Amino acid sequence: MSDGSNGNGNGNGNGSSNGNDNGSSNGGKRSLRQVSATDPVANLPAIEGFPASEKVYVEQDGLAVPVRRIHLSGGEPAFDVYDTSGPQGHDPHAGLPKLRAPWIEARLRDGDDGNRSQMHYARRGLITPEMRFVAIRERVEPTFVRDELAAGRAILPANIRHPESEPMIIGKNFLVKINANIGNSAVTSTIGEEVDKLRWAVKWGADTVMDLSTGKQIHETREWILRNSPVPIGTVPIYQCLEKVGGEPEKLTIDLFIETLIEQAEQGVDYFTIHAGVRLAYIPYTANRVTGIVSRGGSIMAKWCLSHHKENFLYTEFERICEVMKKYDVAFSLGDGLRPGSTADANDRAQLAELETLGELTDVAWKHDVQTMIEGPGHVPMHKIKENVELQQRLCKDAPFYTLGPLVTDIAPGYDHITSAIGAAMIGWFGTAMLCYVTPKEHLGLPNRDDVKDGVIAYKIAAHAADLAKGHPGARDRDDALSKARFEFRWEDQFHLSLDPDTAKDFHDETLPAPGAKGAHFCSMCGPKFCSMKITEEVRAIAERGLADKAAEFKQAGSTLYAGRDDHSH
Ligand code: SF4
């Protein structure tokens, strides 16, 4: 591994909390090497790129926005896809280049009033470089991005201490986004494995990543993740608070919570899940549930409320929390601590009471111009999904909805990436802005690298299916390009245009590995005689020949319309 330099003359990782209060984006003093005593990323596996693809930057308006360009055969034009993988080839010790540092510094220099949120700028009519970057990525006008942010219908998570992030937007009028959860637990995983999962998740298309670490080295793990993340990072700060009080929820205090928020905000976390809607009065509503309270954060806050018999301090001190959020531009992801953990509990009184409170808190956050999205369930059967979105949109005034799944049935442990992707596609179609992935390990164990990929791919499918159903402009272009390649038996193009080219090619190779098979007009599924696409090709050729013959016959007969009859036309 080379030492420190990332080739842009800015080799230091933007170190951890440095206590300086000016909001500067590069005030960190410690490199990632200094953060860890040993080298946690010494043996990271290389992340291979996609076949027939290159990362190119679309230069527009003084900005360079990444896309993945897929090269096709047969004279077809290259196809560009949205790319979340971030700058490649950087030493993880050095972290990624700080793309946003000059933009942030310029804003802090010129007219900083202490509120650094993109919503605050948007409400003052300003269009930031982050908004312009997003506009190019989403192929919309920058004014549209600004107006959606100002209205609270979208968020652009972009902590001023995470200058490595490439701006992205979450809102129902943009492409549906997906989140991948990573993070170690007290039982398993290392920092290196988590950095590897981060790079792996963004390769496959995760738009944001949540670091849900709960074990030892929580701060250090987060530092490595943030410095190497091109996408916004979310956390659930109450987890670290709980570590700090030895795992005893009743010892939590608002001061400890605020201190932890500042620690994480200084590191660059872009959004915080905060379970401020778990009110004391709602906890009894969960008493007769099949699966009680299944959110970790929700159960921690419920225990605190009951042991003190007091209102949730995250609710009563919410404005103090807003002060931290706006200073760094950390977005709220208002947690659904009382979400249903089984289809039996879906849309019950506890869930909907909390949602109402989240609507009330959205107003408070917006009073401070703090960007806000709302978390949603969980486990919901298909016929109850639409109601979730309608209620959330009404109660939370169109603030972006961010849902976990939902799983539409409880009977398939080991396959919950599928049970939940079904619900995710539906809820995305109805207007959910971001879908939190579920992996095959859900309910069973900490996901490994393979599970992360399976979860991301399942959710890319769900999000894209939702974009198609919503009629999002241009969403069908990739489907059309792939279908055309499929129909023309351009096998390699079909693989290259797919979400997971490796698996598509491996499956084809399983029965037809010879290079010549990649030009064959059939595959092993139906075989050469029963290939319906080949037969269609032949049918079309016959039809075309038949039409040509008929035309020639017509000409030969003197090109008269009604041969052998008087022409009585008028
Ligand atoms: S053989 Fe069947 S599955 Fe394979 S390309 Fe032809 S129609 Fe499609």
Ligand 1 pocket mutation pick from 526, 534, 535 by most atoms within 8 angstroms of CB = 526
Is omega for the bond preceding 28 within 30 degrees of 0, making it cis?
A: no
Indicate which atom in ligand 1 lies nearest the CA of residue 533. Answer: 7
531 ligand 1 Cβ < 6 A: yes
Give residue-wise pLDDT tens across range 492-534. Answer: 999 999 999 999 999 999 999 999 899 899 999 999 999 999 9
Going from the Cα of 535 to the center of ligand 1, the distance in angstroms, rounded, reads 10
* Whether residue 536 has its Cβ less than 6 Å from ligand 1: no
Query: Closest Cα partner for 55 from 160, 179, 166, 163?
Result: 166
Top mutation candidate among 525, 529, 534, 537 for ligand 1, by most atoms within 8 Å of CB: 525
303, pLDDT greater than 70: yes
- Predicted confidence at residue 500, as pLDDT, reads 98
Mean pLDDT value across residues 298-309: 96
Nearest alpha carbon, ligand 1 atom 6: 531
pLDDT value, residue 342: 96
Answer whether 535 contacts ligand 1 (Cβ < 6 A). no
Ligand 1 atom closest to the Cα of residue 532 is 7
pLDDT given at position 563: 61
91-100, 233-242, 371-380, 523-532: lowest mean pLDDT where? Answer: 523-532
Give the mean pLDDT of 372-393.
97
Q: Which residues pair with 171 in a beta bridge?
A: 154
Half-sphere exposure of 204 (CA within 13 A, CB side): 27
Most confident of 145-149, 188-192, 524-528, 555-559: 145-149
Whether the pLDDT of residue 8 is over 90: the answer is no
First to last CA, the chain: 87
| Pocket mutation for ligand 1, best pick of 490, 493, 523 (most atoms within 8 Å of C-beta) | 523
The answer, yes or no, to whether residue 350 has pLDDT greater than 70, is yes
CA dist., res. 70 & res. 80, Å (int): 6
Q: Could you read off the pLDDT of 185-237 as tens digits, one per residue?
A: 777 778 999 999 999 999 999 999 999 998 778 999 999 999 999 999 999 99
Helix %, strand %, coil % for the chain, to 5? Answer: 45, 10, 45
**125-136, pLDDT tens digit by residue?**
999 999 999 999
The mean pLDDT of the chain is 91
Q: Is any atom of ligand 1 closer than 6 Å to the C-beta of 523?
A: yes
Find the 79 Cα to ligand 1 centroid distance in Å. Answer: 24
Which residues does 390 contact at the CB level (< 8 Å), separation at least 6?
A: 430
The alpha carbon of 506 and the centre of ligand 1 are apart by a number of angstroms equal to 16
At residue 15, does pLDDT exceed 70? Answer: no
Residue range 17-49, pLDDT digits in tens:
333 334 344 434 456 766 666 788 988 899 999
What backbone torsions phi and psi does residue 262 show, to the nearest 5 degrees? -65, -45
Q: Please name every residue paired with 155 in a beta bridge, in sequence order, or none if there are none.
A: 170
Model confidence pTM above 0.95: no
212 within 8 A of 452, measured Cβ to Cβ:
no
**CA–CA separation, 338 vs 352, rounded Å?**
9
Q: How far apart are CA 148 and CA 143, in angstroms?
A: 9
CA 530 from centroid of its chain's CA atoms: 41
Return the pLDDT at 551.
87
Atom 4 in ligand 1: which residue has the minimum CA distance?
523
Give long-range contacts, CB 8 A cutoff, 24+ apart: 417-423.
417/442, 417/451, 417/454, 417/455, 417/458, 417/459, 418/458, 420/458, 421/458, 421/459, 421/461, 421/462, 422/382, 422/462, 423/380, 423/382, 423/385
Ligand 1 nearest atom to the CA of residue 528, by list position? 1
% of the chain with per-residue pLDDT over 90 = 83
CB-based contact 120:112 (threshold 8 Å): no
Q: Which atom of ligand 1 is nearest to the CA of 527?
A: 1
CA-derived radius of gyration, the chain: 27
Query: Which residue, among 437, 26, 504, has the nearest Cα to 202 in the 3D structure?
Result: 437
- With helix as H, strand as E and coil as C, how does 337-389 read? CCCCCCHHHCCCHHHHHHHHHHHHHHHHHHHCCCCEEEEECCECCHHHHHHHH
42/384: higher pLDDT: 384
Residue 567 pLDDT > 70? no
Cα(511) to ligand 1 centroid in Å equals: 13
Spatial distance between the Cα atoms of 109 and 104, rounded to a whole number of angstroms: 9
Cα distances (Å, whole numbers) of residue 249 to 134, 200, 215, 242, 295:
40, 34, 16, 6, 14
- Mean pLDDT of the region 332-357: 96
Evaluate whether 435 touches 178 at the Cβ level (below 8 Å): yes
Residue 512 CB less than 6 A away from ligand 1: no
Q: Is 514 left (phi over 0), alpha (psi -120 to 50) or beta?
A: beta
- C-alpha 223/C-alpha 538 separation (Å) is 60
pLDDT at residue number 16: 34
Give the pLDDT of residue 558: 85
pLDDT, mean of residues 481-497? 97
Span 242-273, pLDDT tens digits: 999 999 999 999 999 999 999 999 999 999 99
> Which of 183, 316, 318, 177 is CA-nearest to residue 239?
183
How confident is the model at residue 351, as a pLDDT?
96
Residue 399 near residue 374 (C-beta atoms within 8 A): yes
